[in-house]
Every structure is written in structure tokens, then in C-alpha cells.
Amino acid sequence: MLHGEHDVFDPTVGSWARAPDLPTSRHGLGSGVVGDAWIVAGGGTAAGLSISGTVEVYRP
């Protein structure tokens, strides 16, 4: 199953909210925060064993 949806946490109010879908739906990805950017890398773009070199940056 591939996922494009994601939620973001707002520490000022202590709650999660739905954010716009990611441009590339995938599974098994890695992510991290650098400064004000959330970087999403890799993951599979097809169900089953697949890999991707896709890297996307989300800035709220």
C-alpha cells in the first residue's frame, strides 16, 4: 500500500493536523527535519519490493 497523506504536529498547540498530500505516494521512506524543512527521501513507489531515489522537501 502506498501513502501520500501526512500529518504535521504543531508544538505551540500540542496537536496534529492533516497537511496537503505529498507529491509522490510511497512506502518505507525516510525523513528528517533540517532547519524549517522536512525532507522525505527514498521509499518504494510501487507495492511490494521497490525502491526510489526520490527526494522531496516540505516547508509549511
SS in 3 state form for 12-47? CCCEEEEECCCCCCEECCEEEEECCEEEEECCECCC
pLDDT > 80? residue 16:
yes
Asked, for residue 30, whether it belongs to a domain, the answer is yes
Asked, for residue 38, whether it belongs to a domain, the answer is yes
As a whole number of angstroms, the distance between CA 18 and CA 47 comes to 24
* Structural domain harbouring 46: 6-58
**SS3 at position 59:** coil
Predicted TM-score (pTM) of the model is 0.71
Task: Place 1 in a pLDDT band, splitting at 50, 70 and 90.
Answer: low
pLDDT > 90? residue 49:
no
Count of domains observed in the chain? 1
Residue 14 is predicted with a pLDDT of: 96
Asked, for residue 1, whether it belongs to a domain, the answer is no
Residue 48 is predicted with a pLDDT of: 82
